[in-house]
Structure 1
Amino acid sequence: MGLIAIFAFAGLFGAAIGPMINTYLTVYSNGGALVAQALGGTAMIFLTLSGYALVSGKDFSYMRGFLMTGMLVVIVAMIANIFFQIPALSLALSAAVIMIMSGLILYDTSRIINGGERNYINATISLYLSFFNIFIHLLHLLAVFSGRR
């Protein structure tokens, strides 16, 4: 049952991200390059941070409170930005999400390595969500700063 849940979860996210990527590909003249850069950057961030947690063997559990507080602040700010629609806040929120998700990669990988996470389904979904969020927000930042439409 657990493996089926992971595949269903990944499939739903894949179905959700498809139209978004299609929008970037059609709206931006350099959409293919933007998507490739975002994917490559996300992969580098993920592999570097996971590798660091693996090689160093450090316990990053001390980051939990900071990461959860940061996510709560970002969620509240995102809801506020729905009403205020401040472009600079949107960019700042994307940067903040990338930093927080990077911290979550360190935290989750550390928990997996040090035996704090025994449920592989939760661990997989958590790392997948971090990867997904970094990709989406990095794509947003790259698109805004590319300036081409």
Structure 2
Amino acid sequence: MNQDVTTFGRSASAALSTSKVVRNTYMLLAMTLAFAALTAGAAMALGLPHPGIILTLVGYYGLLFLTTRFRNSGLGIAFVFGLTGFMGYTLGPIVNAYLALPNGGQVVMMAMGGTALVFLALSAYVMTTRKDFSFMGGFLTVGILVAFLAGLAAIFFHMPGLSLAVSAMFVLLMSGLILFETSNIIHGGETNYIMATVTLFVAIFNLFTSLLQLLGLASND
């Protein structure tokens, strides 16, 4: 009897812990998305230039390292906002470039709507079915690494065709990452809401920028 009570208590405690991670993750995600939108809007309004691929990578990985390093302390929250705000700033000039094109506003709105639809649909699917997508971890790691290296090659060697192929890959990979991370959160595989927020934010960011490029092509821009 005592063993049954202990087992029940542990199960209840685990469920409460998971619920707390889910609640904190989506609350922080909403806040970081709003902050990134604010920094992107400021960059657009001020007409700030894109920092370039080198500074973007240094800033992103530097802030990601600090966020990971301090993920269990209050500083982790500050670095999450630093990271997402920086990513929002890099997005501002990109969106401005699309808005300057014919039908650019429509392309941007379609990319935003598509990103929201994919994220909400995939998240709702995992939440309602509670399927375990942990088996996708290895595939996503390799796929993202290959797509990242291919993307760098497309930039440095000026290969538009490869760049578009990479965007299509990232749409699929980021959709898979949303499934994987959401499953990880609700099944207790991810217990740190700061890192869960970062993963979902990066997935949403890359999904949006990839859809921008693909929709821009479809609109002959």
TM class by smaller structure:
over 0.9
Displacement of 1:81 in angstroms is: 2.1
**What TM-score, normalized by structure 1, do the two folds share?**
0.93
Judged with a 3 Å threshold, the aligned counterparts in structure 2 of structure 1 residues 12 and 79 are, in CA distance, closer, same or farther, namely closer
Is residue 21 from structure 1 mapped to residue 21 from structure 2 by the alignment?
Answer: no
- How many positions carry a matched residue from both structures? 147
* Alignment correspondent of 1:142: 215
Q: Distance in 2 between matches of 1:13 and 1:79?
A: 17
Judged with a 3 Å threshold, the aligned counterparts in structure 2 of structure 1 residues 55 and 32 are, in CA distance, closer, same or farther, namely same
Moved over 4 A (4+): none
Q: Distance in 2 between matches of 1:127 and 1:59?
A: 17
Is residue 116 from structure 1 mapped to residue 154 from structure 2 by the alignment?
Answer: no
2:85 corresponds to which of 4, 7, 11: 11
Q: Distance in 2 between matches of 1:15 and 1:114?
A: 34
Q: Distance in 1 between matches of 2:151 and 2:79?
A: 28
Conserved? CA contact 2:155–2:163, under 8 Å: no
Equivalent residue runs for 1:38-57 within 5 Å = 38-57=111-130
Unaligned runs of 5+ in 1: none
**What TM-score, normalized by structure 2, do the two folds share?**
0.64
RMSD value over aligned CA atoms?
1.2
Equivalent residue runs for 1:80-119 within 5 Å = 80-119=153-192
**Higher RCO by CA contacts (8 Å cutoff, separation 6 or greater):** 1
Q: Distance in 2 between matches of 1:69 and 1:90?
A: 18
Larger Rg, first or second structure (1 or 2): 2
Conserved? CA contact 2:119–2:178, under 8 Å: yes
Displacement of 1:4 in angstroms is: 2.0
Q: Distance in 2 between matches of 1:6 and 1:72?
A: 22
